[in-house]
Amino acid sequence: MPLLRHGRVSSCSRIFSDSGFGDAAASDVIVTLRSFLDDRSSTASRRDDVAVRLRPEDDPRLLANDLDAVSLIEVEFPKYTDGRGYSIAQLLRRRYGYTRELRAVGQVLRDQLSLMRRSGFDAVVFDHPDAEGVYAEAVGELSSAYQGAADDAVSIFLRRRPGASPGGLT
């Protein structure tokens, strides 16, 4: 499946491992939150190369103090009807200040792409023959937003108030 970073097809050599780092270098694997937390002491020496996958039931607060050691966070969408990944993304970006790659994986549909971008995802694994074209069309459909989010779009309500800041809560 194509990986899109900022709407462009990209590559990633990391693979997901349910069993933790093992003997692999941190730059080779994406581990579960539990594996990361269990192996936290050894990840300190791997700074800037750790990748973690958060599942819908994971609490991103457990990762908040270690975000400087994580270069990639994948948020899993096991079903398109499960919206907890959006909340996780918003918390990571807005509350905890995570600025590195945030990737949506799992059951990602075209109709979700715009909201995923607004929620703070800068990468998605999206299965479509014309992934770039579909992504560009999907994220460009709406010209205005009604509420603040993790992106820099100013909501239509805040546009009416002088001096309003992007992403501010309404």
**Judgement on whether residues 95 and 52 belong to the same structural domain of the protein:** yes
CB atoms within 10 A of CB 121: 28
The residue range of the domain holding 167 is 144-170
Structural domains of the chain, count: 2
Find all residues with CB under 8 Å of 3, minimum gap 6, and list them.
Answer: 9, 10, 11, 12, 103, 123, 124, 125
pLDDT in tens, 22-71: 766 667 889 999 999 888 766 555 555 889 999 999 999 999 999 998 99
Token match 């937003």: residue? 145
Phi, psi of 23 (to 5 degrees): -95, 0
Confidence of residue 86 (pLDDT cuts 50, 70, 90): very high
Instruction: Look at residue 170 and tell me whether its pLDDT is greater than 50.
Output: no
CB atoms within 10 A of CB 163: 5
Q: What is the CATH number of the domain that holds 68?
A: 3.20.20.70
Indicate yes or no: pTM above 0.85.
Answer: no
Instruction: For residue 11, give both structure tokens.
Output: 């590559």
Instruction: For residue 158, give both structure tokens.
Output: 């805040």
**Judgement on whether residues 121 and 70 belong to the same structural domain of the protein:** yes
- Higher-pLDDT residue of 41 and 122 is 122
| 19 class by beta-carbon count within 10 Å (0-12 exposed, 13-18 middle, 19+ buried) | exposed
**Judgement on whether residues 95 and 153 belong to the same structural domain of the protein:** no
Q: Compute the distance between CA of residue 86 and CA of residue 88 in angstroms, rounded to an integer.
A: 5
pLDDT in tens, 126-147: 988 898 999 899 888 877 776 7
